[in-house]
Structures are given as structure tokens and as C-alpha cells.
């Protein structure tokens, strides 16, 4: 899907506050950007065709064997590569969720079915099951015990577990090592959400080397740009420079959720992360989005195009308290006046 994602800030002028992508202000890329300014010379040479040195460092940092990481141009390329490698399979997608799973599966002629909970979920032997955990756009974490039981009782199904939002929850999740110990899990990772660099395009797949190598066959060379490789190596060895206080982010999300509940006019979905999904009782999210960006320079995510949702849904990622207060007030203005 080339249109309709969040962080469509490029389509608007005058945006002061951006709640539309799932990235916290605490994911501050500054130390990384400073470092990369000194590494611009790497753009003068071809990157490694397969980003191999980054993959080895990444595997080592996660305590995984060599061959268990495939670095990609953002988690999105990873999604398309997996769909391609298992072309034509049956894919079950836990929904509502990130639209690219379905788009990628349909591009590669999967037989796509949607499911709505891990509880009682039935998957196909020989098929795939896509689980975004924590989930986008709800922010909910699927219970790790339920996920593990599902995975282990269906060894014939490949589970694609997208951990892009893992840095934003304190709920227990399957670790990369636990995923790698299983023959049927591919885990997706994003550098963007944790370190605030969505423009860089750096993500990856971890899993058993034999399974990951099936995916790597479909990489085109030089998929990962030279600065992304540099960035990845820096983040692996200097992650401690990037402070992020998950508890404060979660407390702020709870506060915003309560403030919006007090405003009324919408239902707030429960969340375990920094994001909030809301459903308007009256009016449409497109109208709210339009009002907020034009009147207040505030960008939210119209969530109507998530499969399973409708035109009443919007999504926000909480930011600084004073910014969130402005958002809540602006939404209140729309609810009571429009």
C-alpha cells in the first residue's frame, strides 16, 4: 500500500505536532544522527550486497547463531520477502493490524484469512500465521503463553511475529532467542520505532538459520543502504546512549486514555504500549483528522483503512504531556463543536 499509512506528514504543511506514527519523542535519534554525519563517506562505496557484517554483529548481540539474522530495508521489506518466499500459501492474519501483511500476501497470491484472537485460533499446516505483537493499531500485547502454545502446537505452520513495537511495552514477550529456538518462527524487528529513524530504512528478520536462509534467497543485492548498515552497527554497540523510560511512556498513555474518556464521544481500546486506538461515536475520523491538522497543526492517524476497522477509528501515539494536553483539548473542541 503506497498511500494511507501513518506519518503522512510529507503530505501536509504546517504540522506542529505529530501523533500519527507510533514513535515516542523519547526515541531521540540525536546521538545516531551526530554519528552518521561523520560517516557520510561510506556513501561513496557500494554497501555490502548482503549487509553481512551487520547481520553477524546483530546476531551476536542477541546471542543468536550466525545466519539467524537477515537485515532488510525496514521491516516492510522483510514482510514482502517472507510473503514471496512462501508464495501461494494459506496465511492467517491476526487483525486488525498493519496492512502490509495482507498486501504482501495478496501480492504473492496467498490465500488470506483474518482472525481476531490468539485464543482458539486455528491455523493451517503448511501455512503462515502473522502476529504483530505488540499489535498495531491497537497497542495490545497478545499473551505470550497463548502465543507460545499456538506456535508449539502447530509445528507445520510458520509464525511471523512482528516485534517492531516491543520497545514500547513492559508486558512479557517471546525473546529473539526463544523464537530462534523454534523451527517455525520468523521474528521481525524494526530499528525505527526504538531509535526514531524511520527515514533510514533498517529492519530485520531473526529465526533459525535454515529458515532465514529460505528468505535470504529473495533479497536483491544492496537492499540495505550504506548509512543504514553504519547505523545498525552503531546502535548495536551504543544502544545505551538512547535512554527510553517505558514506564513513563505507559503512564502517559494511561493518563491520555483517561483524559479522552473524560472528553467522551469515543471508545478507547485497551493498550499495552504508547499507542491508542479510538472509535468515534459520532462523525468520521477523516473529518477529525482534517480539523486537527488545519486548525491546530496536529497530525493523527486516520485508522479507517485498517482491515476490520471502519471510518470512525483513529490512532495516536502519545508524546510529551504538554503536547498530549493540546491534542486532548483540540479533540474536545471538535467533539463539541463539529
List of residues contacting a copy of itself (CB under 8 A): 1-3, 5-7, 9-11, 18, 21, 29, 33, 36-37, 40-50, 53, 73-74, 76-77, 79-80, 100, 104, 107, 196-201, 216, 218-223, 225-228
Residue 9 DSSP label: G
Question: What is the nearest approach in angstroms of a copy of itself to the Cβ of residue 338?
Answer: 28
Nearer to a copy of itself, 77 or 184 (CB): 77
Nearer to a copy of itself, 48 or 148 (CB): 48
Please state the separation of Cα 254 from the chain's center in Å: 20
Question: Do residues 206 and 67 lie in contact, with contact meaning Cβ atoms separated by under 8 Å?
Answer: no
**Residue 301: strand pairing partners:** 315
Please enumerate in sequence order all residues whose Cβ is within 8 A of that of 98, keeping only pairs 6 or more positions apart, or say none: 132, 136, 137, 162
Nearer to a copy of itself, 53 or 124 (CB): 53
Nearer to a copy of itself, 230 or 272 (CB): 230
Question: What is the nearest approach in angstroms of a copy of itself to the Cβ of residue 250?
Answer: 23
**Closest CA relative to residue 300, chosen from 245, 260, 258, 250:** 260
**Closest CA relative to residue 79, chosen from 188, 216, 185:** 188
Question: Do residues 289 and 321 lie in contact, with contact meaning Cβ atoms separated by under 8 Å?
Answer: no
Segment (H or E) for 18: strand 17-18
Residue 309 DSSP label: B
Nearer to a copy of itself, 55 or 272 (CB): 55
Question: Do residues 222 and 46 lie in contact, with contact meaning Cβ atoms separated by under 8 Å?
Answer: yes
Question: What is the nearest approach in angstroms of a copy of itself to the Cβ of residue 164?
Answer: 13
Question: Do residues 10 and 318 lie in contact, with contact meaning Cβ atoms separated by under 8 Å?
Answer: no
Question: What is the nearest approach in angstroms of a copy of itself to the Cβ of residue 224?
Answer: 8
Question: What is the nearest approach in angstroms of a copy of itself to the Cβ of residue 153?
Answer: 32
Kindly state the cell numbers that stand for 172: 512479557
Secondary structure of residue 245 in the 3-state scheme: coil
Nearer to a copy of itself, 50 or 333 (CB): 50
Question: What is the nearest approach in angstroms of a copy of itself to the Cβ of residue 126?
Answer: 21
Nearer to a copy of itself, 42 or 175 (CB): 42
Q: How buried is 331 (Cβ within 10 angstroms: 0-12 exposed, 13-18 middle, 19+ buried)?
A: buried
Question: What is the nearest approach in angstroms of a copy of itself to the Cβ of residue 55?
Answer: 11
Nearer to a copy of itself, 151 or 202 (CB): 202
Distance in angstroms (rounded) separating the CA atoms of residues 220 and 207: 20
Question: What is the nearest approach in angstroms of a copy of itself to the Cβ of residue 292?
Answer: 18
Question: Do residues 155 and 124 lie in contact, with contact meaning Cβ atoms separated by under 8 Å?
Answer: no
Amino acid at each position: 500500500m503506497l498511500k494511507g499509512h501513518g506519518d503522512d506528514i510529507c503530505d501536509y504543511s504546517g504540522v506542529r505536532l505529530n501523533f500519527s506514527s507510533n514513535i515516542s519523542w523519547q526515541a531521540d535519534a540525536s546521538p545516531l544522527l551526530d554519528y552518521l554525519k561523520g560517516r557520510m563517506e561510506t556513501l561513496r562505496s557500494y554497501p555490502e550486497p548482503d549487509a553481512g557484517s551487520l547481520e553477524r554483529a546483530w546476531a551476536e548481540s542477541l546471542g543468536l547463531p550466525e545466519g539467524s539474522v537477515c537485515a532488510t530495508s525496514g521491516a516492510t521489506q522483510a514482510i514482502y520477502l517472507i510473503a514471496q518466499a512462501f508464495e501461494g500459501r494459506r496465511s492467517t492474519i491476526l487483525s486488525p493490524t498493519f496492512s502490509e501483511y495482507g498486501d504482501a500476501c495478496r501480492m504473492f497470491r496467498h490465500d488470506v484469512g483474518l482472525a481476531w484472537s490468539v485464543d482458539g485460533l486455528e491455523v493451517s499446516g503448511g501455512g503462515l500465521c502473522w502476529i504483530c505483537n505488540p499489535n498495531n493499531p491497537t497497542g495490545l500485547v497478545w499473551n505470550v503463553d497463548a502465543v507460545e502454545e499456538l506456535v508449539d502446537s502447530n509445528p507445520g505452520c510458520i509464525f511471523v511475529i512482528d516485534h517492531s513495537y516491543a520497545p514500547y511495552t513492559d508486558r512479557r514477550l517471546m525473546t529473539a532467542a526463544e523464537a530462534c529456538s523454534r523451527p517455525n518462527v520468523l521474528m521481525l524487528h524494526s530499528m525505527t520505532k526504538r531509535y526514531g529513524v524511520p527515514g533510514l530504512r533498517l529492519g530485520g528478520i531473526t529465526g533459525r538459520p535454515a529458515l532465514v536462509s529460505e528468505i535470504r534467497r529473495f533479497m536483491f543485492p544492496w537492499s540495505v543502504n550504506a548509512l543504514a548498515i553504519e547505523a545498525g552497527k552503531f546502535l548495536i554497540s551504543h544502544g545505551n546512549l538512547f535512554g527510553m523510560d517505558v514506564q513513563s511512556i505507559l503512564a502517559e498513555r494511561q493518563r491520555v486514555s483517561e483524559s479522552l474518556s473524560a472528553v467522551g464521544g469515543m471508545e478507547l481500546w485497551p493498550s499495552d504500549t504508547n499507542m491508542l486506538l479510538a472509535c468515534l461515536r459520532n462523525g468520521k475520523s477523516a473529518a477529525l483528522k482534517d480539523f486537527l491538522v488545519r486548525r491546530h497543526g496536529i497530525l493523527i492517524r486516520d485508522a479507517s483503512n485498517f482491515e476490520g476497522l471502519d471510518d470512525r477509528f483513529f490512532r495516536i501515539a502519545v508524546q510529551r504531556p504538554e503536547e498530549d494536553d493540546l491534542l486532548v483539548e483540540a479533540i474536545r473542541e471538535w467533539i463539541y463543536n463539529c
